[in-house]
Amino acid sequence: MSLLEIRGVTKRFGGVVALDGVDIEIEEGEILGLVGPNGSGKSTLINVLSGFYPADRGRIFFAGEEATEAPAHHLAALGIARTFQIPRPFDTMTPRENIAVSYMFGHSRHSLAGARDAAQEWLDFTGLGGVADVGIGELTLHQLKFLELARALATQPSLLLLDEVLAGLNPSEINESVEMIRRIHSQGVTILIVEHVVRVVMALSDRVVVLDQGAVISQGEPEQVMSDPAVVTAYLGDRGRSA
């Protein structure tokens, strides 16, 4: 049984069809890459999966249970966590407090006492120990992205949805982030990673799914998918074929 099963999910915004009958399965313990040109629906899919808004049609199953219309905090309780492409930390709190809140309310609920100490674990894991108690305004983009990760991890999820975690980072930061994702994976977390940086997706993912204009146009092993002519066309247009 797959950890996450998406069947026929469709989402419209006014006249725009963002997701068009998407079928995806994510196996437990794998890293699934989700790629596609701009506007293909990747972020929309993450939003639907994390409960930001519901799908118009289709069904979603998590660990065998129906999770289609579930509100966000219910999905968190089930064990789904996500990061945001543009980090959204709680800006009146310190990094430590951000993580502590996440720890208190996440997949396994905890009380206030001890949340501060528990947060240390994820501060250390993401290397944010040095900035644990400063204002959010003092963090760099890279640190904010790691805070996103730390906060998501503190909910102790079984499925982590990473939404363009590498956007805006320089090459060395990207390498650090990839290392971080590998370490997270080795702890047994299933990961769905949405990314533009193709080499990273190829290197990290067990399987890759390609979206274009809301529909799945290819899935499979990374090598196989990226040489699929349909995928090349989607990214480069018809000129790609004659190139």
Partner 1 sequence: MSSRARALLGFLVAGLLLAFIPELTEAIDLPRFYVIFLFTVFFWVAQASSWNVLTGYSGYFSFGQGAWYGIGVYTVAVLTGKHGWSFVTALPVAGLFALVAGLLLGVVVFRLRRLTGEIFALTTLAIAFVLASLARISPAIDGGTGTFMTGTPLPSFLGEFTTAMYRLTLVVMLLTVLASYLTHDSRLGWGLFSIRDDEPVAGGLGVPVFRYKMVALGINAFFAGLMGGVWALQLGFVTIDDVFNIRVPLFVILMTVLGGLGHWMGPVVGAVIIYTLSDRLNSAGLTDVNQIIIGSLLVVLALAVKEGLYVRLRDRWVTTLVTFVGVMAITTVFDITRSLISDFAISMVATVLMMLIPKGVWDRVRGRDRPDGGEGPPVGMETMAEAGK
Question: Quick one: 160 or 197, whose CB is closer to partner 1?
Answer: 160
Q: Which is nearer to partner 1, 40 or 83 (CB)?
A: 83
Does 130 bind partner 1 (CB under 8 A)? Our answer is: no
Q: Checking DSSP bridges between strand 80-82 and strand 159-163, what pairing results, if any?
A: parallel
Classify residue 87 as left (phi > 0), alpha (psi -120 to 50) or beta.
beta
Quick check: 242 binds partner 1 (CB under 8 A)? no
Binding part of the chain for partner 1, among 27-35, 110-118, 165-173, 209-217 by CB under 8 A, reads 110-118
Please give the structure tokens belonging to residue 77. Answer: 């309780």
The answer to whether 236 touches 243, Cβ cutoff 8 Å, is yes
Contact positions with partner 1 (CB under 8 A) in 194-223 = none
- Taking alpha carbons only, the member of 219, 226, 220, 218 closest to residue 200 is 226
Show contacts with partner 1 in window 35-74 (CB under 8 A). 50-52, 71-73
**212 within 8 A of 36, measured Cβ to Cβ:** yes
User: Number of residues in contact with partner 1, rule: CB under 8 A?
Assistant: 41
Report the nearest approach of partner 1 to the CB of residue 222 (Å).
29
Strand order in the sheet with 57-62: 16-26, 4-13, 57-62, 65-66
The one among 11, 42, 145, 151 contacting partner 1 by CB under 8 A: 151
- Whole-angstrom Cα distance, residue 97 to residue 25? 35
Q: Are 26 and 192 within 8 A, CB to CB?
A: yes
From 38, 65, 112, 188, residue interacting with partner 1 (rule: CB under 8 A): 112
Give residues 2-31 in contact with partner 1 (rule: CB under 8 A). Answer: none
Neighbours of 122 (CB within 10 A): 25
Q: Does 164 bind partner 1 (CB under 8 A)?
A: no
Q: Which of 13, 69, 86, 114 binds partner 1 (CB under 8 A)?
A: 114
Q: Which of 90, 141, 142, 176 binds partner 1 (CB under 8 A)?
A: 90
Q: Which of 56, 59, 61, 101 binds partner 1 (CB under 8 A)?
A: 101
Question: Which segments of the chain are extended strands (E)?
Answer: 4-13, 16-26, 31-35, 57-62, 65-66, 80-82, 159-163, 190-194, 207-212, 215-220
Q: Which is nearer to partner 1, 93 or 217 (CB)?
A: 93
CB 150 within 8 A of CB 122: yes
Can residue 143 be called a binding residue for partner 1 (CB under 8 A)?
A: no
Q: What are the residues binding partner 1 (CB under 8 A)? A: 50-52, 71-73, 75-77, 81-82, 84, 88, 90-94, 96-97, 100-102, 104-107, 109, 111-117, 133-135, 138, 151, 155
